[in-house]
Amino acid sequence: MQLAIEQAQKAEEIGEVPVGAVITDAEDVILATAHNQTILKSDPTAHAEVQALRKASARLRNYRLLSTTLYVTIEPCVMCMGAIVHAREQWL
């Protein structure tokens, strides 16, 4: 969770909403870290959770993130929760 907080601080430093996310596998190996980038990317879907899901999916070459855990510094919005459900995260 500390790493997610550090990601949120990075977002705040660049003028984004301070939200951070981290995804780990079943052995607590970090698969992805991310922070909000909606302003930077001019992308309303570039929330920390979605950014982390994209990175972890690319790393695993599979959108199904089975046996993974998502740590996030805020309760996910409806859009992010939908993406989390589709990615089949085991824990939030």
Task: Report, as residue numbers or ranges, the catalytic residues.
Answer: 49
| Residue 20 contacts residue 35 (beta carbons within 8 Å) | yes
Residue 68 vs residues 12, 13, 71, 91: alpha-carbon distances, Å: 26, 28, 10, 7
Angle (nearest 5°) at CA 79 between 73 and 87: 80
Residue with tokens 């907080």: 5
Are 53 and 45 in contact by the 8 Å Cβ rule? The answer is no
